[in-house]
Structure 1
Amino acid sequence: MKLSATLPLRYLFNFSWLKSGLFWRTFVLLGALTTMSMSAWVGMISIVQHEPQVQQISAQVISVVTITHAALTHSAPELRRELLFDLVSNEGIRVFPLEEDDKVAPPPDNALMPDIAALVRAKLGADTRFSSEVNGVAGFWVSFKIDDDQYWLMLERNRIRGLTGIQWLGWASVVSMLSLLGAALISSLINRPLARLTAATRAFAQGKRPARLPEKGPREIREANRSFNQMVDELQQVESDRAVILAGISHDLRTPLARMQLEVEMANLSPEARDGIQSDIGQMDAIIGQFLDYAKPTEASSFINVDISALLQDTVREAERLPDVRMHAEITERAHVMGNATDLRRVINNLIENARRYGKTAGTDITEIDVRCSLKGMHLAKRVVIEVADHGSGVPDDQIENLLKPFTRLDAARGQANGAGLGLAIVERVLQRHGAELHVRNRDGGGLEFQITMRAIA
């Protein structure tokens, strides 16, 4: 529990979350700029208005005390009670005798008070006292003399104070909140075209044809969107030209091979020579097929709901017909994915063929192949996990990455390879187009295991 509670704070204070996206980086930078600007503005206003505010409040206090002193001095004794009542009711001014046993609190603690006290004492006398509370009554208290008698004059606080610290904080909070909302809006406007471009790039990488990006807005955004649209059009043209070339290659190469096969059948050759030539022709045809499969694009528009469970069961039944293969299958029911059924079948067949060739059990001519399919996760996070493993000798750990490279065969497989080294490269290429993950590792107990993870659909 202690570790899980500290992880969010550690994540927050190491600022790694700023790398999550351009929106947050722009928002934080604009927010920091706004906060510094607000702080500078508040500091400047405080400095500029300090002296005028001190002068205004001091003049007000001096004026009230002087007028009250004069009124009480020149009024008839029998009228002073009415005068004090008028001062309280109309002006909010109260006058009390100053007693020695009065409980006097210190004057208000703010940046203006020292300067106010100095100006007021310069006019009313150095013995003028100030207090924020007398005998439990809060207010702004100023002492003055009439002959030898001393009095307290109390003013309402709102008459002698400007904006308090809390008020300053409140206004600053409101302005800061509005500034942060503005920063969020600006960040969103900046990030939106880039987010649209990122989504289109991701869709194109998955083999989809994204909608054309709008060529409007700032010059940089227009040029980026125009370049992307042009790139998509040109690559689509390249794909179309490649399809035509592949069709031509298939026809121009396989037609002579078929003619050679016919001539071998009709030629007066020894059985050994005929078998050798037919084997060579078959190998050439298989290599051409691998080249075509590797170069053939997988169109996302051809994806349909594929019952991968049924597809795996059919593939296992076909592989069981081979005399040198023993299949062990554990396939869950009703596992569905979005994809091209023909390409996915080619992936599984390539993995089984790779295991059949290079994963024979030590000391035998038999290859044992395990095929498993399971569902992991729940709801929207549900995944289909497919595993194809053999019981052979596996490959060195430092050479596993080379298995998926085109035209690559490991040393242990060279003597028995009869292809172009594209089988596993075709597997990886097709799975990338399907948005699937492929992991290759040595199996516990010996052998090589391929694990495919795809998003499941209902």
Structure 2
Amino acid sequence: MKLPFSLRIASLKSGLFWRTFFLLGALTTTSMTAWVGMISVVQHEPQVQQISAQVISVVTITHAALTHSAPELRRELLFELVSNEGIRVFPLEEDDKVEPPADNALMPDIEKLVKAKLGADTRFSSKVNGVAGFWVSFNIDDDQYWLMLERERIRGLTGIQWLGWASVVSVVSLLGAAFISSLINLPLRRLTQATRDFAQGKRPAPLPEKGPIEIMEANRSFNQMVDDLQQVESDRAVILAGISHDLRTPLARMQLEVEMANLSDDAREGMQSDIGQMDAIIGQFLDYAKPTEASSFINVNISELLSDTAHEASRLPDVRINTDIAPGAHAMGNATDIKRVINNLIENARRYGKTPGSDVTEIDIKCSVKGMHTSKRITIEVQDHGNGVPPEQIEQLLKPFTRLDTARGQANGAGLGLAIVERVMSRHNAELNVRNRDGGGLLIQIVMKAL
């Protein structure tokens, strides 16, 4: 039976797959965060030393080259620095528009080390006169200059790059967590599906007996349990069939002897009634023990089946059948078993639901189809106009060998009528509801998935 949406959401939240996935994801995220933090701390000092040494080296070499070169060659030297080294040198003017250096964790330590080597008056900037770069000032005699390095030469990974790499690692980690969760959850999902199929009367395929020891042993135990239960079911059917044959043969002889015996009419009718009841009880045992195989399910016209069953029941002298059956109701099932269920419900109503003050039992049979497409449902209702059942005892009706004679009047039988109905309907994955009818009587409702 399909779970309601709220229950499906709850099952997703509490499912083993999602628990494992979120735990692995949280572990991976925590580990990655700690790794990034550790790398940042460990890498900080070496990166500061490397960038500071590079800046000091470039400024020192440029200063020496300009100082010791001939004035007529300085223009060519500056061109070489720009074209080959990406280094530009500009005069520092008082009206230069200077922006502060980049605000990051490395810059304060870089400034400290560079100023210790080049002088406390060394200035830094991230943009001068609208031109972005890594700007450092230096002096030649009494003149001040700007030396601009390309940012790419002195910067490490930016925050965006760190975020990009972290995103890639996170996605890969989450995919790995999903894969690992699927591997962990797959055997349990197979076991759950096999258990559900077995509960619905299907014979599940044997679970693979391989993998980790715990999974292998669980699957082997489940397969053995299925085989054992199938054998028990088969043995029970054989035993009951044998009992039926062994009991019905002497019952037939007793019936014949009663017919031929010199008895009064009352005695003969009483004995014939007792023999008929014993034969009916044997039939109930066989119906209850008979398995309903899902492999035998076909497209059943529920509307026609109900109409035929109601027509047959209307021939009984003490029954009046009222029908309200929607046409075109189809469902997958075993037609013989569904008809047996409806007959059991009619017989249950005939025996126990006699209308007070009347010798005729009035039974209503209704069938409706509601919903659209995959959500279509067939609702079958069989109700009588009797005394009903005390509400606190309704649940007892579906238990085997239970008869509520105090509520429904005296009747003979093994108490398996509604138990057979519940057993067959559960194999058809249908919903069975029992409640008292408004106005008196018992209402039994069956809800099946429609085609």
Q: TM-score range by the shorter chain?
A: over 0.9
Q: Is 1:222 equivalent to 2:189 in the alignment?
A: no
Q: Is 1:293 equivalent to 2:290 in the alignment?
A: no
Query: In structure 2, what is the equivalent of residue 146 of structure 1?
Result: 140
2:313 is aligned, of 299, 302, 319, to 319
- The residue type paired with residue 12 of structure 2 is W
Query: In structure 2, what is the equivalent of residue 195 of structure 1?
Result: 189
Query: In structure 2, what is the equivalent of residue 17 of structure 1?
Result: 12
Q: What is the CA-CA distance between 1:15 and the residue it aligns to?
A: 8.1
Query: In structure 2, what is the equivalent of residue 436 of structure 1?
Result: 430
Q: What is the CA-CA distance between 1:64 and the residue it aligns to?
A: 0.9
1:231 is aligned, of 218, 225, 231, to 225
Distance 1:11 1:293, change over 3 A: closer
Query: In structure 1, what is the equivalent of residue 299 of structure 2?
Result: 305
2:178 is aligned, of 173, 184, 195, to 184
Q: Is 1:75 equivalent to 2:99 in the alignment?
A: no
After TM superposition, the structure 1 = structure 2 runs for residues 154-303 of structure 1, keeping only pairs within 5 Å, are 154-303=148-297
SS at match of 1:207: coil
Distance 1:399 1:101, change over 3 A: farther
Distance 1:410 1:311, change over 3 A: same
Deviates more, 1:62-71 or 1:299-308: 299-308
- The residue type paired with residue 17 of structure 1 is L
State the distance in 2 between where 1:66 and 1:184 align.
Answer: 55
Unaligned 5+ runs, structure 2: none
Q: What is the CA-CA distance between 1:24 and the residue it aligns to?
A: 2.1
Deviates more, 1:50-59 or 1:131-140: 131-140
Q: What is the CA-CA distance between 1:320 and the residue it aligns to?
A: 1.1
State the distance in 1 between where 2:289 and 2:275 align.
Answer: 21
Query: In structure 1, what is the equivalent of residue 341 of structure 2?
Result: 347
State the distance in 2 between where 1:37 and 1:344 align.
Answer: 59
State the distance in 2 between where 1:301 and 1:168 align.
Answer: 59
State the distance in 1 between where 2:159 and 2:182 align.
Answer: 34
Contact 2:387–2:407, Cα closer than 8 Å, also in 1:
no
TM (norm. structure 1) is: 0.91
- Deviations along 1:12-49, one digit per CA (max 9) or x if unpaired, are 9x987321x32222222222221112111111111111
Query: In structure 1, what is the equivalent of residue 366 of structure 2?
Result: 372
State the distance in 2 between where 1:203 and 1:75 align.
Answer: 92
Q: What is the CA-CA distance between 1:209 and the residue it aligns to?
A: 2.1
State the distance in 2 between where 1:259 and 1:352 align.
Answer: 30
State the distance in 2 between where 1:291 and 1:17 align.
Answer: 42
- The residue type paired with residue 142 of structure 2 is D
- The residue type paired with residue 82 of structure 1 is E
TM (norm. structure 2) is: 0.93
- Deviations along 1:224-243, one digit per CA (max 9) or x if unpaired, are 22222222222222222112
Query: In structure 1, what is the equivalent of residue 41 of structure 2?
Result: 47
Contact 2:345–2:418, Cα closer than 8 Å, also in 1:
yes
State the distance in 1 between where 2:295 and 2:54 align.
Answer: 82
Q: What is the CA-CA distance between 1:11 and the residue it aligns to?
A: 11
Q: What is the CA-CA distance between 1:79 and the residue it aligns to?
A: 2.5
Q: What is the CA-CA distance between 1:59 and the residue it aligns to?
A: 0.2
- The residue type paired with residue 130 of structure 2 is G
Q: What is the CA-CA distance between 1:256 and the residue it aligns to?
A: 2.2
State the distance in 2 between where 1:392 and 1:127 align.
Answer: 108
State the distance in 2 between where 1:355 and 1:225 align.
Answer: 45
Deviates more, 1:122-131 or 1:216-225: 216-225
Number of positions where the alignment pairs a residue of Structure 1 with one of Structure 2: 447
Deviates more, 1:56-65 or 1:150-159: 150-159
- Deviations along 1:245-285, one digit per CA (max 9) or x if unpaired, are 01111012222222222222233333222222222222222
Q: What is the CA-CA distance between 1:159 and the residue it aligns to?
A: 0.8
SS at match of 1:216: coil
State the distance in 1 between where 2:272 and 2:397 align.
Answer: 29
Deviates more, 1:136-145 or 1:228-237: 228-237
1:382 is aligned, of 376, 393, 400, to 376
Deviates more, 1:358-367 or 1:234-243: 358-367
State the distance in 2 between where 1:11 and 1:85 align.
Answer: 75
Contact 2:388–2:407, Cα closer than 8 Å, also in 1:
no
- The residue type paired with residue 65 of structure 1 is V
Contact 2:318–2:360, Cα closer than 8 Å, also in 1:
yes
SS at match of 2:99: coil
State the distance in 1 between where 2:326 and 2:299 align.
Answer: 17
Q: What is the CA-CA distance between 1:60 and the residue it aligns to?
A: 0.3
State the distance in 1 between where 2:430 and 2:16 align.
Answer: 27
Q: What is the CA-CA distance between 1:414 and the residue it aligns to?
A: 5.7
2:26 is aligned, of 27, 32, 46, to 32
SS at match of 2:222: helix
- Deviations along 1:68-103, one digit per CA (max 9) or x if unpaired, are 122222223333222222221211111222222222
State the distance in 2 between where 1:189 and 1:76 align.
Answer: 75
Distance 1:366 1:159, change over 3 A: same
Q: What is the CA-CA distance between 1:116 and the residue it aligns to?
A: 0.8
Query: In structure 2, what is the equivalent of residue 126 of structure 1?
Result: 120
Distance 1:39 1:100, change over 3 A: same
Q: What is the CA-CA distance between 1:430 and the residue it aligns to?
A: 0.7
Query: Quick one: percent identity of the two aligned structures?
Result: 83
